[in-house]
Structure formats: structure tokens, C-alpha cells
Amino acid sequence: MKKLLRNPSKVTHSHQYSALQPNSSKPRPDSVPAGHFPVYVGLDQDTTEKFIVNAELLHHPLFIELLHRSEQEYGYAQRGVLRIPVDVVVFERVLESVKHGEGCSCLDELLGQSVSCR
């Protein structure tokens, strides 16, 4: 160790090290693509799953209804990632319905429940 301290040029000119810099060309595994946002979906901590959702969904009536449910459950003061308090299977049905352009306009209709929708 003393030899290294006396002659630091041996360390600084070494070809056996690489600078510890983040590689900006590789996306982080937890990064979210542009135009998307993360959503945690589930009724409790044990069944919560993370989804990466296209921001265009924010204008869809089914997703707006999910946002209303989130607001009722957590309020507007919720911090961090958006949480939606529905079963994961229900959320996946919403995504499939939107993807295939099905005409369902409310969650109850999508689930086949006999509740009249707005």
C-alpha cells in the first residue's frame, strides 16, 4: 500500500481499471418509457402488481373510473406511484377491453354486473 501512495502514477496509468460511470446508453431496469407511467394495482399489499401504462389511457372512460376509485380510496394527497384499488384480473380486463376497442364504458358493464352505467 505504501508503494502505491508513494507513486500514484502507477495506479492512474493502469489499464486494469475502468471509470465508475453510469452507462447512459442502457436504460435502467426500473425505468419507464416516455409516454408511459407506472401503476400499482391490487386490493392489498400481497396481491399488488406493477403495470407500465400508456399515458393515452388517462382519457379512456374505463381508466377514468379507475382513477375515481383510487381517489375515493386514497384521496388526492396520495404520494408516489399511482395506486388503483381493484383486483389485478379486473385491471387486466380493462386493458384488454381498451386494447381491442370494446364498447364497454364502465367497470360494472365490463364485469357483466347488472348495474346501470352512466
Could you give the CA distance from residue 104 to residue 113 in angstroms, rounded to a whole number? 12
Give the pLDDT confidence of 56-107 residue by residue, as tens digits: 988 988 899 999 989 998 887 777 889 999 999 889 988 988 887 766 666 7
Instruction: Kindly list the distances between the CA atom of residue 99 and the CA atoms of 58, 72, 84, in Å, as whole numbers in the listed order.
Output: 14, 26, 19
Give the pLDDT confidence of 9-33 residue by residue, as tens digits: 554 554 444 455 555 555 555 688 9
CB atoms within 10 A of CB 74: 14
pTM of the model: 0.63
Residue ranges of domains in the chain: 32-118
Per-residue confidence (pLDDT) for residue 93, from 0 to 100: 87
Residue 80, SS3?
A: coil
* H helix or E strand, kind and range, residue 62: helix 61-74
